A and B are shown apart, each in its own frame.
Chain A
Amino acid sequence: MTEPTMSRSTDANRVRKVVSVQAPQMVAWRVFTEKMGTWWPLAHYKIGGANAVDAVIEPRVGGRWYERGDDGSTCQWGSVLAWEPHSLLVLSWDISADWQYDPTLKTEIEVRFSADGSDRTRVELEHRHLDRYGARRDEMRRIFDTEGDWGRLLEAFARAAEA
């Protein structure tokens, strides 16, 4: 079994992952973009008040990336910056450290799909520009110190760190 590899990069401003999937490139692309709701850990990673039932990427540059709640409400996470079917997807992730949508944040997630034979796909993911959180560090600290939502992020981190 191949686990996503841990990034050994010393660059604090990005996270890199590579995963090899036993699926044709087209299938890997489709599951990532069209069926995100089937694998995204919605129970832990959502921002709306309602129970999230789906994660949706509108299939075009400028499209929205959002969660849909069981009450029909939607909460935006970011938007589509690059859309090149079957090979390249770039999303902005505009969720702040206090777990709210902030369209000025714009950290970026680049996902590259490349065929490794006819039925295996290499998926490379890079989450970058994390330094854009840096300008908000003081704000984050204040929120944290006053027992805000930062604690939720930390608890989610704690759960993730255990996995």
Chain B
Amino acid sequence: MGDPTRREVLKRLRGGGRSVGEIAEGMEVSRPAVSQHLKILKAARLVTVHAVGTRRVYAVDTRGVESLRKWLDGFWDEALTAFKVMAEREATKEKKR
């Protein structure tokens, strides 16, 4: 998800739903590559897809609390892992005193 292409895809969806072709327009990667990124974003529940006529339109998943909960879940994993490292470093330092 730290991939710059995926961030660019998300950015392009901020203005509303778009098809793969519309998303890929003007990007340096191929359309199949964009499709692949969309698949990953969809699996992460950051993006949803629905049909409009014969087109498949991708949009940002705005299911409020659930998106937020998922974000916080990842956030606390990152923060607590960093906390653990610092607490253990501090404990080692104090032991040596």
Q: Interface residues, chain A, CB within 8 Å of chain B? A: 2-4, 6-7, 12-15, 17, 19, 21-24, 27-28, 30-32, 35, 38-41, 45, 97, 119, 121, 123, 125, 127, 130-131, 133-134, 137, 140-141, 144-145, 147, 151, 153-163
Contact of A158 among B10, B65, B82, B91 (CB under 8 A): B10
A151 to B46, CA, bound (A): 11
**List of B residues within 8 angstroms of A163 by Cβ:** 74, 77-78
A3 to B74, CA, bound (A): 12
Main secondary structure of the interface of B (DSSP, over half): helix
Find out whether the CB atom of B84 lies under 8 angstroms from the CB atom of A19.
Answer: yes
**List of A residues within 8 angstroms of B83 by Cβ:** 19, 21, 31-32, 39, 123
B39 CB–A CB distance under 8 Å: no
- How many of B's residues come within 8 Å of A, CB to CB? 42
Chain A residue nearest to B44 (CB atoms) is A161
Find out whether the CB atom of B86 lies under 8 angstroms from the CB atom of A157.
Answer: no
Contact of A22 among B67, B70, B88 (CB under 8 A): B88
A161 to B15, CA, bound (A): 22
**List of A residues within 8 angstroms of B75 by Cβ:** 45, 156-157, 160
Find out whether the CB atom of B7 lies under 8 angstroms from the CB atom of A155.
Answer: yes
A125 to B78, CA, bound (A): 13
**List of A residues within 8 angstroms of B2 by Cβ:** 158-159, 162
